[in-house]
């Protein structure tokens, strides 16, 4: 039987492991809440899709957090990227609050 202290230490380690942006992005991507795809139209290079939800450490409904996450997540494919356009689809609500899908259109600056 694991003691309460050991459980608290394990929980703290697990939360701490998600504190770096890359690890957190991977967790969101694996859960289907964050993805990147090449552009399907002209005027931008990639689309980063973010599904809103209630997570500790990231609020996709906060524009500043959403923009920072988008540019950080797209940095490998699109160094020096900029947000060209944002589309929001309101999907209704659930017990946690409103559900939205954000589609961030990213333009890559020439190297």
Q: Which residues contact 24 (CB under 8 A, 6 or more apart)?
A: 18, 57, 58
- The pLDDT, as a whole number, for residue 106 is 96
pLDDT tens digits for 83-97? 999 999 999 888 877
pLDDT tens digits for 34-48? 999 999 899 999 999
**Locus of tokens 């993805």:** 35
pTM (2 d.p.): 0.73
Q: Where are the domains of the chain?
A: 21-107
Alpha-carbon separation of residue 78 from 69, 87, 95, 96, 102 (angstroms): 13, 19, 36, 33, 18
């Amino acid at each position: 039987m694991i003691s309460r202290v050991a459980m608290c230490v394990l929980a703290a380690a697990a939360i701490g492991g998600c504190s770096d942006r890359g690890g957190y992005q991977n967790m969101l991507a694996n859960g289907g809440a964050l993805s990147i795809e090449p552009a399907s139209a002209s005027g931008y290079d990639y689309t980063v899709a973010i599904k809103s939800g209630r997570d500790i450490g990231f609020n996709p409904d906060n524009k500043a957090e959403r923009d920072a996450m988008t540019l950080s997540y797209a940095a490998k494919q699109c160094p020096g990227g900029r947000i060209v356009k944002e589309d929001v689809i309101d999907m209704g609500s659930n017990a946690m609050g409103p559900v939205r899908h954000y589609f961030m259109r990213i333009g890559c600056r020439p190297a």
